Structure 1
């Protein structure tokens, strides 16, 4: 098989050529080769070579010893960086995750043998010819995920490969071979040795793929999530939805792929699984998501819960709904509110809920676009001005008054003009004094 090199690989040909000119073998490996064979865009470039790290560094003026202990050197060429790794064999693995050491070899076939799946064990030469000793291209044509060599050994070496198998099954729409799937289910208990951060990274990639529903269904079938070192509170609801018929599951999760943003996809999955914001927060903490991501995802779920609360109170008339929406946008911010509308639109198409008390999403979007301001910084007065105008010492009343003014301006009930705002604040102050 001979292929046309994509642009990213073509740009790295001078590195491969220089290694070859000096008597070493050098080829492209990894995901770039797999995606080139499949016909997908290439995202990164990895090069493997028979040259040892010190020999690589002697040939290229700009090098970074990023992974010297594993034989990896980063070469800077025309402003781009490329990882070049010496052919190697790996010794016994520790903690079912990482090899205890590596030994450099000169055989490309031996280097490819240590890789996880046949579709990742191909090499591409600079002339476009494919070296494929383990029939990865055949498995791509047959749409199979197959371990290189002994599947039991591959998963016992690195248990994270089981999550990667499910990801490839989902992202590429492939099927596992019988031996690979049998070995995965046999060794899934080993997931307890994998750091939750690594699990989270794989889940991110699954949800970011073209078919999150397929990923969740295969995750359910694998049982991997039940074998993690930390139990996730979201599992029961998530798995329940994955056990629905294909048609029902497609209805529940099928529209999540309409969302471009990964965190919005997370929120949509958790909302559709009827997982509370509290349970979601605990699960995302265990998965080691960053605080910013966790707060954003749980914020979207909380906003959904608030909307359901408004519906259950039967207060979905135009004025009360608008006031709830104004308060929500002020509290959560415009961006969070816009994201929530996108999530709800993907899940429910037009409305939150059904019947006469359903919340019309298009109406909320129109209102959001019409709000003149939504933050205190945009208000034409501040606390110091307010205290001076009313000739009162600063105190809690200032923040209450500013918030009240902001709600009225955002609702288009007051103009955002300083004198108008002062007059309204004076009126409220007088009413409060009379009531006292």
Structure 2
């Protein structure tokens, strides 16, 4: 049995809570309970940046609306009302219980309750089941403080029930473990392995979010290892065909944390040997945007060029400043020296940085007597390549002369 924790009170609340304190005070003055709940409480205790501040109350939605002059029915069927107070907006959710979960994702029934304990009992992990009064006093009904101190991810109550309610929680457990650099305690980990097949019922878009957050965490390789150990990876598109390779990847050191989603997928692409077609098919299977797919394709090509120590001016030009930084940082993560500054200097020294910078255009070529059509487009592309390579100056007169010469040569050929 775990030792009962001593009461905890946070004396100096972060600024993110200050405006909302008055909202909780108004609710409490009318005889209801009101608390800060969830991730904001956890991250405050861990001295991490706070993103969203969630408020929960024993007041039912209709009662909350009576307490404030300006409200919006944001998600009132699930108990959430947005309150406008002193020019700020606050989402307030009524204590509730959930039941049904026939699709292993969403509750079939939501019931509003007056009990904080009943509300916290439906939450996923003990470290997320903490509440805090407006005066900073922490309410811990499930030993979340102990688990925070021990750096443990533990399901609230029976982990089998938690994962059968929402199978995405299995991914979230691995993600939180990586983000916080916590370990998943054995009973919760065993329940993930038991219930892993339920992940097939979750939309890839939801899995995608958790997977990327996991690889952006403090301990991504541990997260990946836990996905291998529990066989969650068997239910991820394309990656389920690379289990053997990923088993090798988790044993390679990651010298630096990955900073964004483009770096995540580029790092995977390099480690798994994906060429452009497989990058595109993989990200399509993961319902990624065309913009992300293009960025990962470019960054991966640049990484290979950096590893081979052969980055041409044209590759610098095509890749662009942002993607060059991503490529250089993935190379650092792979254990190689940082080339970011040198690459950016070379990029800035290029004669042009886009086709719009070219000192000639199609209209000028037509006026010079070159017929419109595919040949004109090819001519512009050739001039663009030559300017980037430095074999011709980006100057209109020189470009026109070169265009005429190449056009005549093409006719003669």
Give yes or no for TM over 0.5.
yes
Q: Is the 8 A contact 1:345 1:361 kept in 2?
A: no
Q: For 2:49 and 2:322, how far apart are their aligned partners in 1?
A: 31
| Residue 397 (structure 1) aligns with | 375
Q: Is the 8 A contact 2:386 2:392 kept in 1?
A: yes
Matched, 1:287 2:295: no
Matched, 1:249 2:239: no
Q: Is the 8 A contact 1:374 1:406 kept in 2?
A: no
How high is the TM-score relative to the length of structure 2? Answer: 0.90
Q: For 1:177 and 1:336, how far apart are their aligned partners in 2?
A: 38
Relative distance call for 1:256 and 1:212 in structure 2 (3 A) is: farther
Matched, 1:39 2:47: yes
| Residue 239 (structure 2) aligns with | 234
Decide which of 371, 375, 378 is 2:357's aligned counterpart: 378
| Residue 184 (structure 1) aligns with | 192
Q: For 2:256 and 2:27, how far apart are their aligned partners in 1?
A: 46
Residue ranges of structure 1 left out of the alignment (5+ in a row): 352-359
How high is the TM-score relative to the length of structure 1? Answer: 0.86
Relative distance call for 1:367 and 1:385 in structure 2 (3 A) is: same
Q: For 2:354 and 2:50, how far apart are their aligned partners in 1?
A: 43
How far is 1:39 from its partner? 2.2
| Residue 344 (structure 1) aligns with | 331
| Residue 3 (structure 1) aligns with | 10
How far is 1:25 from its partner? 0.6
Q: For 1:386 and 1:191, how far apart are their aligned partners in 2?
A: 58
Decide which of 16, 26, 35 is 1:18's aligned counterpart: 26
Q: For 1:51 and 1:367, how far apart are their aligned partners in 2?
A: 61
Relative distance call for 1:392 and 1:36 in structure 2 (3 A) is: closer
Decide which of 221, 241, 244 is 1:213's aligned counterpart: 221
| Residue 137 (structure 1) aligns with | 145
> In the TM superposition, what are the counterparts of 1:290-309 in structure 2 within 5 Å?
290-304=289-303
**RMSD across aligned C-alpha pairs, in angstroms?**
2.5
Q: SS in structure 2 opposite 1:28?
A: strand
Q: Is the 8 A contact 2:317 2:350 kept in 1?
A: no
Relative distance call for 1:99 and 1:268 in structure 2 (3 A) is: same
Matched, 1:82 2:60: no
Q: SS in structure 2 opposite 1:84?
A: strand
Q: For 1:126 and 1:362, how far apart are their aligned partners in 2?
A: 47
| Residue 172 (structure 1) aligns with | 180
Residue ranges of structure 2 left out of the alignment (5+ in a row): 1-7
Instruction: Name which of structure 1's ranges 107-116 and 360-369 shifts more when overlaid on structure 2.
Output: 360-369
Relative distance call for 1:304 and 1:41 in structure 2 (3 A) is: closer
Q: For 2:139 and 2:76, how far apart are their aligned partners in 1?
A: 26
Q: For 2:137 and 2:276, how far apart are their aligned partners in 1?
A: 52
How far is 1:348 from its partner? 5.3
| Residue 355 (structure 1) aligns with | none
Decide which of 170, 188, 203 is 1:195's aligned counterpart: 203
Q: Is the 8 A contact 1:116 1:161 kept in 2?
A: yes
Query: 1:134-165: per-residue Cα shift (whole Å, max 9, x none)?
Result: 11101111121111111111111111111111
Q: For 2:337 and 2:182, how far apart are their aligned partners in 1?
A: 33
Q: Is the 8 A contact 1:196 1:288 kept in 2?
A: yes
Q: For 1:362 and 1:121, how far apart are their aligned partners in 2?
A: 44
Q: Is the 8 A contact 2:262 2:326 kept in 1?
A: no
Query: 1:342-384: per-residue Cα shift (whole Å, max 9, x none)?
Result: 4334435249xxxxxxxx9887555323211032211111111
Relative distance call for 1:20 and 1:213 in structure 2 (3 A) is: same
Q: For 2:32 and 2:249, how far apart are their aligned partners in 1?
A: 55
How far is 1:64 from its partner? 1.7
Decide which of 114, 119, 123 is 1:115's aligned counterpart: 123
Q: Is the 8 A contact 2:120 2:129 kept in 1?
A: yes
How far is 1:303 from its partner? 4.6
Q: For 1:274 and 1:224, how far apart are their aligned partners in 2?
A: 22
Q: SS in structure 2 opposite 1:73?
A: strand
Q: For 1:364 and 1:43, how far apart are their aligned partners in 2?
A: 34
